[in-house]
Structure 1
Amino acid sequence: MKTHFLTVIVLFLTTQLYAQTGRQVSGVVNNAEGTALPGATIKLLTAKDSLVVAADDQGRYHFLSVPVNQFSLLVTSIGYQQAKYSYRLPPGRLAVELSPVILKSDTTTLRDVTVSSITAVRMKEDTIEYNVAAYKVRKGAVIEDALKKMPGLEVSRDGSISVQGKQVSKVQLNGKDYMAGDVKSLTRNLPAELVQNVQVIDDHGDQARLTGIKTSDAQKVMNINIRKDKNHGYFALATAGGGGDMIPQSRGGRNNGRYAAYTNIFNFEGQRQITLSGDLNNTNTSLFDFSESGRKGPPDLFGDKQNGITTVRSLGFNYRDDWGKQLTVYGSYSVAENGVNTISLTIRDNLSGQSASTQTSNSNRNDRNLNHRAHFNIEFRPDTLNYFKLMPTFSYGNMRTNESVASRLQASNDSGALMSDYTRSLQARSSSINFGISALYNHRFRRRGRNMNILLNGCTVTSDRYENPVYNFMAGTANAPANQIINTSGRTDSAGVSLSYLEPVGKKSYFEFNYNFQNTSITADRLTDTLSATGEVNRASDLSNDYKFDFMINRFGVNYRLIEKKYNVTLGFAAQPALLQGSSSAMASTRKTSLNFSPVLRYVYNFSDLQAIAVNFSGESSSPSYYQLQPVTDFSNANYPVQGNPTLLPEYNNTLQLRYNKFGDGTGKTFFTTLSFTQTNHKIVVNTVTYPGNYIPDPKLAGTILTNYRNTSGFYNVSGNYVLSGAWAKRKYTWLLNGNISYNNNIAYLTDVLDSKGMNQAIRKNIAKILILAQGARFRADILDVIDADVSANYLISHSGNAIPDADLNKNFQTITLGTSGKLYFLKNWTLGYTYNKTIYKYFQGAANPNLFDTYIEFRFLKQNMAAIRFSVYDLFNENTGFSSAQTAHNIIQTNVKRLGRYFLLSFTFRLQKFAGKVPQEAPGMDNGG
């Protein structure tokens, strides 16, 4: 407050003294780390007079009318050495933004003065905010390097980010979606020195942000805010590299060439932001993610531990601007063409009370994917009471697949009898087009707290798929048609509306009324033809079908909300009727209705900006998928046909979550934990039906394991995670412990057909209690411009206990990973980087224990280190292999996938950047410095 008062008084006196015409001179005062110094004193000295101002809370200062072209600045601040700068301005009266004034620490003064440390973390209800200035990184580093140092954030090698055991699903820049939310497209490209803070938000959608009414499950969203003194300028980076495999020919190496080219351009002019990104490589890096689960991102030229071998071509454009004071527009377009070769070995243990079996499959698959995606947003605020947002989207995807598979299915008992042996070749192609649009309107009434909100949405998706699986049966029953031609075309139309109304009943309390309607209609035609050895085409009517279903939900809710300074609480009730109806050429129409009720509870208590606890309970319905409903059999996989069940009911999930966070103010001490419990009504589970090899009623099913679906009760999941960390010596040294636990009461029905006519069947309900436990520890040393290194140890166990009384079905998989990674800085401009991991797999069939070692050496040169040359070696020991397991109540699957092996790469990087707090006004040749 004193600072603001002093600034106002001095500016007033300055204006009176210099009433004559002059120019405005502004700037910012920072310390050597780039942090603003509020309260610093700036004295402007001329030949005849002097002026004095104080820096504001952002470290900024302003002289409103400077009549001379030549002057000096004398800058002082407690705890810092005094600095004097001289300036010579070009003639004219244009406002000038001076280069930042940098003050060095005064160690003598600091002995007698207590300097408060930077607040590294703050919390506010659903948001955790990290101050980037508290996490020092080397000049030129990207924001991902700072994220790795922030407690509670886990950044994996592939660039995906997890918080409190949940993956970050979307990224924003200054509060607006960036590249349709692609996380790695921003975190691996944006320079850390441009960032003010990073926010991790539990996002419930646009409606919730405007009204506070949170009715849907929250996503983890990361918002990155640009520093105000860096919001004008540009950043451009280009990298190109070439190399080759280093696998000896004697070991099957082909010595393929490796290449990587990458470019990224940021241009900020206040609210206008333009980004252009492009990528071309065959080193398993992907610039954009077109899947929902998250894929890979640039510009790590080493690639990552991605399965398969990928070639990528991609391009993206992002735009944001204010078209006037009332209109904001932002959006992005991205396109990528990826080629992926995946060679894998899969071992599948099929659980059964009578006829357990094991399938071993070797697969070689090539995919060619083409994806286009465009997202646009228009926000209009005609006044302070009304807000409009329009969100059109478009995407197009095309995939072509060639795959060859060799498969053997054997009984798991002592006989190990061979049940099936075949090879399969598959040619497939598919395409889909998605058009969507949403419209949001919010109105704030003049009475404080009263608010009305409406969201409309609509979407149309059309898809086509062609498949041609060809089988060569060498042993066992030749059940599936040897040569099928399957054409599937579908259309999904969805439309919905969400309404909410907020009525104040006091200064701090409200009633919330909300309603949601959503209708999804799916039409799909599946036509299956068989091709005989003579080339004759026949329609397989029992494998063909046209099917249509509609899923309609109505959700009514009423809540009471109380907002206090320290806490806020929401208590309410929701009712959700649902209708699922379908019709098919293969069977009579069906109609299923359900009605679910659930309480609504949300409680948040903020002990301080650094400590909070939250409790949340909610319920939500979900529809079965088309493939779970379609009433005909899909025989594209000979051993595992799939048949839908059109009489399914939708699921309803009740979720209770408890979250506690505590951060130490400036100390780096952190503890947070999340506990979650989910119980599901009408859970859709698998029913596997195992047929004998001599099954008569339907020979195509002989020797197969048919998958169909049914609703059941008793499913629940309990999960939890924690992070405990600490730091000392101004965060030069940090330690971290983290753990995750998940306990899943999974259910499946296992049906064995015991005779050739199907008259004798044994149906068992298998409850699989699946426990996944992970524990990790890490120590990090981070001395700026000297070393940034860590050592870590991680342990993961996955255990499945089944209700079926067979000890052989209880499986344990364990993974132990010991590793270290780091960067060593020497001779000022040299960097040695390395990553080493030793992975030990226990109880995986045929698993090796690989040593994975990547290293590089880099030299930076030219002014401000604009250029760099790097020599990299990836997977030095050539042991990169991928092993994984997945356990359910009806099978256990182990997978071993070939990954990109040892190669080297020589790359060159060049970057340019210039940023300021305002549009630079200096004329060429201006003397900026003292």
Structure 2
Amino acid sequence: MKKLIYILLLASSSVFAQKITLKGQLLDDVNAPLPSATVMLLNPIDSSLINFSISNTEGFFEMKNLVRNNYLLKVSYVGLANFSKLVEPKEGETLIELGELRMQQQSQQLNELVVKGEKAPVTIKKDTIEFNAPSFKTKENANVEDLLKKLPGVEVESDGSIRAQGEQVQQVTVDGKEFFGRDPKIATQNLPAKAVEKVQIFDKKSDQATFSGIDDGQRQKTINLELKEEYKNGFFGNATGGYGTDDRYTGRLSLSRFKKNQQLSFLLMGNNINEQGFSIDDYMNFSGGSQQIMGARGGGAVRMTFNAGGGGANQGGAQINFGQRLNGIMSNYGGGVNFNQDFSKNTTLQSNYFYNQLEHDVLQGLERENFFGDSSTFLNQSSRQYNSNYNHRVSAILDHKIDSANSVKLTTTFVNNQAESNSATQSETRADNGELINDGNSNTYSSQNINNFNTNALLRHRFAKKGRTISSNLSFGYSQNESEGSVQSDNNFYKPFLLSQELNQVNNQLTENMTLGATLSYTEPLGNRRYLELNYNFNQNLNDVNRRVYDVEESGNVLNENLSAQYTSDYQYHRPGFNFRVNRTKYSVTLGSSLQYTKLYGDNLSTGETISKPYQNILPTARFNYEFSSTRNLSLDYETSVQEPSITQLQPIVDNSDPLNQTIGNIELRPAYRHSVRTNFVVFNPVSFVNFFAFVNATYTQNAITYSQQINERGVRISKPVNVDNNKSVSANASVGMPINKIGSRVSLSANANQQYGVNLLNDVETNIAQSVLSSTLRYSYRYKEIFDIELSGTISRNSTDYELNEASNQLYYNNNYRTEANLSFLKNYQLSSSFEFLVYDSRTTDFTQQVELWNISISRFILKNKAGEIKLSAVNLLDNDFGINQTASINYVERTNTNNLGRYLLLTFTYAINKQLNPLAGRRPGGGMRMMIRN
């Protein structure tokens, strides 16, 4: 035993004796320290990464517990030539002092040594998460959307919308510049994935906050695509054309010409296979989402939503999306040009024009069960709807630096939108004993022509004293909406006695809106890295609405005064405030508050009634950011805001466009007051390539605005906005990703949790509701050389809604989504691709279960030099699921809709990758690696 203990002690002492520590200081050629320099230890045999460090503010770095071996020390710093040194520990040496290491200017011509190594797939740069795009493999001719689907913590819905770390992405930029405005889909669905070097995700602050350094709380979840160098100088893009069975067709051309100071891009597209390539927000705003259309190529699916208050703009709950598949058949066309120019280092221009056209044909059947305590009613409805939308958008941003102290930024946007909708509906409602309550049919038509113009000017000035600034943002907006429509309906109500109602009406409306705004911000340095900001914000919104509804009679059109309205409104607020900010090496703190005085004045010219509502609110804010290291960061924000009721919500005017579902305003509405808390934590291990990020959001809303519902014995629903005591919500997201290097794989796991508490009213009975959504996604990817790759993913979601006073209405849903995608390259120029999605939807409330299988398969033959051409035969929705299913839960009902959709079709396409011919260097870099130039 003594010998064994002696041997163990000797072995352990031998192991510990081999551990060494490496220290040094980095300086430039004028002996200034170099903070935040990247220091790497590489294996001198194969250049693999052994360890990693970042220098501190004085340029010192230290790496401990190193195994006694020879190492290649490599240091990089922006603007300086890379530094390398061979480290050879001596026998018995445990501390290696490298002393002062001086890095030279990059312009020096020195010998080069190319070292290949694996580049970190994820890095953290303060508030930015950066993905190395070549580390996430995509198939040939993939677009950026295909790339985003492989990034941990990023979700791309089938309608093309993007969520990053659980939040909706509002903008995608290219090399920091707008690409066809602020529509994320245009960039993600039209740019090639292989052109992207880095994908950066961050919360973009307002221009004024970026200039002053004081956060004003305005943020946009943004993705920036940093292009590879060879794509920044030359042409690149794709041209695709195809035709298939059932007269299905598609065509797309994306062409970009980038130079050092210029970005020029053209887009053309058109198809009838439900592919957008651009956002359909304008169409959805017009249609009101009545058909709840989503986006997809084809195939059936299920979507379940929770709308706690009914009627629309309630705050009682959020929607639950299941699958987000397009319902109906859509044809769309689009095209435009994007032009960005740096005229000089002081003047830049970003501009674009885009046109899109959508035509949407929907056949739908609806089944709804309404809950009334011990009884229920059942609605059956069938409808046919045809919608069309034509949209022109022009925008320009001019940023000019007048001199070293003054600059101006001008932003202008103009949008013209024209839309039409025709629908025919038949419906009947029965009691739970089968007795008929009402039935009827209706035909509706509506059209709109909207012009919207917005412009703002940001003026900035820096004083001679560092940190002292003043900036002002002036804005002006004008919109005009001309609409007309008609309603023809025949309805029979059988309770308490037979009542037949015929409705034949036409309507027209002219709405004009003008907005004026001004923001002034002054910052003053207080010494010791402390700053004070004084700010003032003014906003005025003027509305003029003239709505006329006419009953169509044999003698002509007769004005219906009860449904017609003409009113004006003037909504304005003044908000002075301050922010105090402290910056330290590891952390920063901002504390502030503002006083908002609001006045809403409305004048109903039809009735002579006026509305005058003054409000005062104190709005405190607090922000904290702590940087543990360059790869670990924590932030915490608290802010308050006011949601004012709109003039439409305040007007007590009935809207009977749908006789069975009517709305009316409420003159007694008060503004809602919201408290929001957000915390965010990100960490990345540069040695193991393990990344973790998480956030938690919580909101508490006082005087929340929701919609009460009155449902009479004839089955007519009347919705009205009301205030309730409070609403609460908490959402959280966490994602972790790591490589499995031994088998060439990567795995990531993400989890989401949402909990909401709200108050709703049904027939004057107040009901507390609680909604819970728990989901988790597991992804696994494997790649074997350039021959085979596969990705497996699974998402499991549990969704529940509980009602305090009506347990019979409680809802419970499960949603599982399993997906696999594989690509096989063979015989040098062939590729076989397949994707299979298995969707399982289970409603425990209605005993409804639906399984949907979506299978797409394609085979490609690459031709021409560098595989520039691709001939592909695709079988889309091979299992022919030509329907969509949508299930919705609300305060007192559950409904399910069945909608037409694209069935199975074959499509033969040809794609030409333009960048491969005009950029000889494109595609030559080995994917997933990096080339480090080490100067000797």
TM-score (norm 2): 0.80
Question: What is the correspondence of 1:400-415 to structure 2 with a 5 Å cutoff?
Answer: 400-411=420-431, 414-415=432-433
Which range is displaced more, 359-368 or 144-153?
144-153
Q: Is the 8 A contact 2:239 2:914 kept in 1?
A: no
Q: CA deviation at 1:719?
A: 1.2
1:665 and 2:697 matched: no
Name the structure 1 match of 2:345.
325
CA distance in 2, matches of 1:122, 1:202: 16
Name the structure 2 match of 1:28.
none
Name the structure 1 match of 2:5.
none
Q: CA deviation at 1:916?
A: 8.7
2:273 to 283, 288, 309: 283
1:853 to 855, 859, 862: 855
SS at match of 2:854: strand
Q: Is the 8 A contact 2:533 2:580 kept in 1?
A: yes
Question: What is the correspondence of 1:626-665 to structure 2 with a 5 Å cutoff?
Answer: 626-665=647-686
Question: What is the correspondence of 1:119-138 to structure 2 with a 5 Å cutoff?
Answer: 119-137=120-138
Question: What is the correspondence of 1:702-781 to structure 2 with a 5 Å cutoff?
Answer: 703-729=715-741, 732-751=744-763, 763-781=764-782
User: Cα–Cα, structure 1 residues 655 and 525, in superposed 2: closer, same or farther, change >3 Å?
Assistant: same
CA distance in 2, matches of 1:481, 1:433: 35
CA distance in 1, matches of 2:78, 2:461: 33
Q: Is the 8 A contact 2:145 2:188 kept in 1?
A: yes
Q: Is the 8 A contact 1:32 1:104 kept in 2?
A: no
Question: What is the correspondence of 1:594-613 to structure 2 with a 5 Å cutoff?
Answer: 594-613=615-634
Counterpart residue type for residue 455 of structure 2: I
Q: Is the 8 A contact 1:829 1:860 kept in 2?
A: yes
Q: Is the 8 A contact 2:273 2:297 kept in 1?
A: no
Name the structure 2 match of 1:211.
212
CA distance in 2, matches of 1:328, 1:195: 23
Name the structure 1 match of 2:96.
none
Counterpart residue type for residue 527 of structure 1: R
User: Cα–Cα, structure 1 residues 890 and 654, in superposed 2: closer, same or farther, change >3 Å?
Assistant: farther
Q: Is the 8 A contact 1:32 1:103 kept in 2?
A: no
Question: What is the correspondence of 1:775-814 to structure 2 with a 5 Å cutoff?
Answer: 775-805=776-806, 807-814=807-814
Q: Is the 8 A contact 1:318 1:331 kept in 2?
A: yes
1:720-760 CA-partner distances (Å, limit 9, x unpaired): 11112221218931222222221111222122xxxxxxxxx
SS at match of 1:900: coil
1:676-697 CA-partner distances (Å, limit 9, x unpaired): 111112211111122234xxxx
Q: Is the 8 A contact 1:288 1:296 kept in 2?
A: no
1:862 and 2:864 matched: yes
2:412 to 378, 392, 395: 392
Which range is displaced more, 346-355 or 606-615?
346-355
User: Cα–Cα, structure 1 residues 242 and 272, in superposed 2: closer, same or farther, change >3 Å?
Assistant: same
User: Cα–Cα, structure 1 residues 802 and 55, in superposed 2: closer, same or farther, change >3 Å?
Assistant: closer
1:905-929 CA-partner distances (Å, limit 9, x unpaired): 00011122234999xxxxxxxxxxx
CA distance in 1, matches of 2:841, 2:294: 27
User: Cα–Cα, structure 1 residues 797 and 881, in superposed 2: closer, same or farther, change >3 Å?
Assistant: farther
1:435 to 448, 453, 466: 453
SS at match of 1:188: helix
Name the structure 2 match of 1:235.
236
Q: Is the 8 A contact 1:159 1:296 kept in 2?
A: no
CA distance in 1, matches of 2:296, 2:80: 35
Q: CA deviation at 1:296?
A: 11
Q: Is the 8 A contact 1:379 1:387 kept in 2?
A: yes
SS at match of 1:849: strand
Q: CA deviation at 1:60?
A: 11
1:264 to 254, 267, 276: 254
Name the structure 1 match of 2:932.
none
Q: CA deviation at 1:525?
A: 1.4
2:697 to 666, 669, 676: 676
Q: CA deviation at 1:305?
A: 3.6
Q: Is the 8 A contact 1:667 1:728 kept in 2?
A: no
Q: Is the 8 A contact 1:580 1:650 kept in 2?
A: no
Q: Is the 8 A contact 2:378 2:429 kept in 1?
A: yes
CA distance in 1, matches of 2:794, 2:176: 36
Q: Is the 8 A contact 1:353 1:750 kept in 2?
A: no
Which range is displaced more, 298-307 or 632-641?
298-307
Name the structure 1 match of 2:169.
168
Question: What is the correspondence of 1:546-557 to structure 2 with a 5 Å cutoff?
Answer: 546-557=566-577
Q: CA deviation at 1:346?
A: 3.0
Give structure 1 stretches of 5+ with no counterpart.
7-30, 34-53, 63-75, 80-100, 107-114, 245-255, 694-702, 752-762, 919-930
Q: Is the 8 A contact 1:120 1:666 kept in 2?
A: no
Name the structure 2 match of 1:620.
641
CA distance in 2, matches of 1:61, 1:479: 86
SS at match of 2:380: strand
Q: Is the 8 A contact 1:121 1:610 kept in 2?
A: no
Q: CA deviation at 1:891?
A: 4.5
1:658-707 CA-partner distances (Å, limit 9, x unpaired): 111122215332222211111112211111122234xxxxxxxxx52211
Q: CA deviation at 1:502?
A: 1.2
Name the structure 2 match of 1:822.
822
1:470 and 2:488 matched: yes
Counterpart residue type for residue 147 of structure 1: L
CA distance in 2, matches of 1:354, 1:904: 51
Q: Is the 8 A contact 1:868 1:909 kept in 2?
A: yes
CA distance in 2, matches of 1:242, 1:460: 43
Question: What is the correspondence of 1:392-541 to structure 2 with a 5 Å cutoff?
Answer: 392-411=412-431, 414-474=432-492, 476=494, 481-532=502-553, 534=554, 536-541=556-561
SS at match of 2:465: coil
Q: CA deviation at 1:594?
A: 1.8
Counterpart residue type for residue 850 of structure 1: V
User: Cα–Cα, structure 1 residues 893 and 558, in superposed 2: closer, same or farther, change >3 Å?
Assistant: farther
Counterpart residue type for residue 608 of structure 1: S
Q: CA deviation at 1:487?
A: 1.2
Which range is displaced more, 541-550 or 122-131?
122-131
Counterpart residue type for residue 329 of structure 2: I
How many residues get paired? Answer: 797
User: Cα–Cα, structure 1 residues 466 and 356, in superposed 2: closer, same or farther, change >3 Å?
Assistant: farther
SS at match of 1:180: coil
Counterpart residue type for residue 199 of structure 1: Q
CA distance in 2, matches of 1:263, 1:160: 21
User: Cα–Cα, structure 1 residues 558 and 686, in superposed 2: closer, same or farther, change >3 Å?
Assistant: same
User: Cα–Cα, structure 1 residues 195 and 204, in superposed 2: closer, same or farther, change >3 Å?
Assistant: same
Q: CA deviation at 1:626?
A: 4.7
Name the structure 1 match of 2:37.
none
Q: CA deviation at 1:190?
A: 2.4
User: Cα–Cα, structure 1 residues 859 and 407, in superposed 2: closer, same or farther, change >3 Å?
Assistant: same
Where relative contact order (Cα < 8 A, 6+ residues apart) is larger, the structure is 2
Q: What is the percentage of aligned positions where both structures have the same residue?
A: 26
Question: What is the correspondence of 1:29-40 to structure 2 with a 5 Å cutoff?
Answer: none
Name the structure 2 match of 1:185.
186
Which range is displaced more, 664-673 or 343-352?
343-352
CA distance in 2, matches of 1:58, 1:507: 28
1:283-335 CA-partner distances (Å, limit 9, x unpaired): 10112215178999999899994222111111021000012332111111100
User: Cα–Cα, structure 1 residues 402 and 374, in superposed 2: closer, same or farther, change >3 Å?
Assistant: same
Q: Is the 8 A contact 1:523 1:547 kept in 2?
A: yes
Question: What is the correspondence of 1:891-902 to structure 2 with a 5 Å cutoff?
Answer: 891-902=893-904
Question: What is the correspondence of 1:835-854 to structure 2 with a 5 Å cutoff?
Answer: 835-843=835-843, 848-854=850-856
Q: Is the 8 A contact 2:126 2:631 kept in 1?
A: no
CA distance in 1, matches of 2:573, 2:892: 31
